Homo-oligomer: A and B are copies of this chain.
Amino acid sequence: MADAKLQIIPLGGLGEFGMNCLALRYKDDIIVIDAGLMFPETELLGVDIVVPDISYLVENREKVRAIILTHGHEDHIGGLPWILSELNVPVYGTEFTLAYVEGKLEEHALLDDTELIEITPGARFTLGAFTIEPIRVTHSLVDCVALAIETPVGIVVHTGDFKIDLSPPDGKAFDLHRFAEYGQRGVLCLLQDSTNVDRPGYTPSEWAVKPRLDEIFSRTKKKLFFSCFSSSIYRIRIAMELARVHGRKVAVVGRSMLESSEIAQDLGYIEIPPGLLIHPGQIADHAPEEVMVLISGTQGEPMSALSRAAVDNHKHARIAAGDTVILSSRVIPGNEKSIFRVIDHLCRRDAHVIYDDGASGLIHVSGHASQEEQRLMINLLRPKFFIPIHGDYRHLKKHAEVAQRLGVVDLALTIENGEVLEIDRNDARKTGKVTAGRVCIDSGSTADVVEDLVIRDRRHLSEDGIVLPILTINKLSGKVERQPEVVSRGFVGGEPELMEGARQVVTQTLDNSSDEEKADYGVIKEKIRIDLKRYIQKNTSRRPLIMPVILEI
């Protein structure tokens, strides 16, 4: 017994943002914490979402006891439908988290076959070798927990996403005392949210946006459109309170906003006085100054209600000159172009657009702990080992440095997806790797796993045609699995000899590339494209469109 070790195996979210998923294994017991998705990089065009590769869990399916959810954000629960369709295990989560999960599973016809078990802060439960206590934490979403996990080698604390909000709008405060008690008992290992490690100081409370929003409500003469993430329940609550105080009826527009506000209302997180809500069809029946439209689409998603309203293409949400539009959210890096496109459309309609541009006052706060909150929790828990979770590699690295410098932690170390960290009471070391990676999904169905593809085209496609080098890369080893194929269409130089030569060019490019380059599809595709372009031009004087396709297996 004494020689067995605890294995910590991140399957997603370490070395990237999103699709958080981490396994803990002790002998024949595995528990999984969170099952998130990730929204794809622009390079994966056409892919709707990305989920973690769970081959490791599937291979060990008889050992997996359950999936435990820390909270209801997509990057923690969004992968569930795909994971459960391969691995039917019980799912544990708080009341609010499970309400989101239910809707998701119902959509995928998985609800009847899934065992959902509600957990509450302070109520311990046992799964194989693990006894788990959820501890209330605060975040931008409600009903979030950290997990204190008793294992045979010691206690592991997983923070989930958190900030230390001393005045959450629902009064359910961060449980400082429970963390302090665990610190007294002794914590072997802390897995802590790294997201905001770049920010010094403290993250403001969810309440902190109210004064500035109140000012904006006061000054607004015509219709007021309020947009935030649909899961920002606190924000929705504040907006509805302000609407009531300032004499505005509320119309909720956009599917995700409707669903989310209904769940929050059902579970008592938002109290809506009778008569406050109106149907979107009634907006036109009220004077502009008596309406607030709660609308989804802060990130400029092309089909969202706000994007459509911005180009006069929403039946009920119509933007008129002098209306005010508040985007109470951050500009997520990578979404600038679509967000600013929507803002430009709104400006052309002479709407006042208030967004988080650094000069609009405090209209949005982060849900993640800044450095001082991270330090506070580390001081409360005084863990022997410290592992940063959630973030790009530079965040994990910096977070480990921050923790190590405190002088409280014995050893702070970074691990990335697929790495196996073995710990016991004395020691923590990386001992191997398991399969980990990204699986791309077409969200219309549970079966449609799509592969990433970056494609170029040009006007004279019919003249010079198209050439597609297709590679099959083993995700785990990074090795090319078989001879690359090269197919063409409308390319007049596509004789067998030339295509055979093209195959050889691709093989050669791959041979001359490092594993790291092969793992970076942007780089490897560009290399293949350039080499093949040169080869084809030399041999045919033609310039077909070249579209490298990588299939992961």
Residue numbers of A with Cβ under 8 A of B are: 15, 41-43, 45-47, 198, 200, 302-303, 307, 311-313, 333-334, 336-338, 340-341, 343-345, 347-348, 353, 357-359, 392-394, 397, 442, 444-445, 448-460, 489, 513-514, 516-517, 520, 522-523, 526-527, 530, 533, 543, 545, 547, 549, 551
Q: Are A450 and B457 neighbours in the complex by a CB distance under 8 Å?
A: yes
8 smallest CB-CB distances across A and B, nearest first, come from A46-B456, A450-B458, A453-B457, A455-B455, A333-B336, A42-B42, A344-B393, A347-B394
Interchain CA distance A334-B41 in the complex, whole Å: 11
Cβ–Cβ contact A303 & B457, under 8 A: no
Q: Are B455 and A457 in contact (CB under 8 A)?
A: yes
Give the Cβ gap from A422 to chain B, nearest Cβ, in Å: 22
Contacts of A450 in B (CB 8 A): 456-459, 545
Contact in complex: A520, B457 (CB < 8 Å): no
Q: Are A343 and B394 in contact (CB under 8 A)?
A: yes
Contact indicator A444/B543 (Cβ below 8 Å): yes
12 examples of A-B residue contacts, CB within 8 angstroms? A42-B337, A46-B457, A46-B458, A302-B522, A303-B523, A303-B526, A311-B520, A344-B392, A442-B458, A448-B460, A450-B457, A451-B458
Asked if B47 and A456 make an inter-chain contact with CB atoms under 8 angstroms apart, the answer reads: yes
Q: How far is the CB of A480 from chain B (nearest CB, A)?
A: 17
Given A357-B198, A543-B444, CB of A344 within 8 Å of CB of B313: no
In whole angstroms, what is the CA distance A111 to B520 when docked? Answer: 38
Q: Which of A47, A312, A344, A545 has the most CB of B within 10 A?
A: A344
CA distance A449 to B457 in the complex (A): 10
Residues in chain B near residue A348, CB distance under 8 A: 393
Q: Which residues of B contact A454 (CB under 8 A)?
A: 45-46
Q: Are A455 and B458 in contact (CB under 8 A)?
A: no
Which residues from B are CB-within-8-Å of A547? Answer: 46, 455
- Residues from chain B with a CB closer than 8 A to the CB of A359 are 198, 200
Taking a contact as CB atoms under 8 Å apart, the answer to whether B457 and A517 are in contact is: no
Q: Are B514 and A344 in contact (CB under 8 A)?
A: no
| Residues of B contacting A456 in the complex (Cβ-Cβ under 8 angstroms) | 45-47, 450, 453
Smallest Cβ distance from A509 to chain B, in angstroms? 12
Q: How far is the CB of A324 from chain B (nearest CB, A)?
A: 14
A333's closest neighbor in chain B, by CB?
A: B336
Q: How far is the CA of A337 from the CA of B392 in the complex (A)?
A: 10
Query: Which of A302, A392, A454 counts the most chain B CB atoms within 10 A?
Result: A302
Q: How far is the CB of A546 from chain B (nearest CB, A)?
A: 9
Contacts of A459 in B (CB 8 A): 449-451, 551
Known: A42-B42, A46-B545, A340-B394. 20 other contacts (CB 8 A): A45-B45, A46-B454, A46-B458, A198-B358, A198-B359, A302-B526, A303-B526, A311-B517, A313-B513, A333-B336, A334-B336, A341-B520, A442-B543, A448-B460, A450-B459, A452-B457, A455-B455, A455-B547, A459-B551, A489-B489
Residues in B whose Cβ lies below 8 Å from that of A457: 46, 450-453, 455, 549
Closest residue on chain B to residue A332 by CB atoms: B336
CA distance A444 to B543 in the complex (A): 9
Closest to A552 in B: B459
| Closest residue on chain B to residue A545 by CB atoms | B46
* B344 and A333 contacting across the interface, CB-CB below 8 Å: no
Tell me how far the C-beta of A157 lies from the nearest C-beta in chain B, rounded to whole angstroms: 26
Question: Hey, which chain B residues are within 8 Å of A311, CB to CB?
Answer: 514, 516-517, 520, 523
Q: Which residues of chain B come closer than 8 Å to A448, judged between CB atoms? A: 458, 460, 543
* Bound Cα distance from A457 to B341, whole angstroms: 26
A528 → B minimal CB distance (Å)? 12
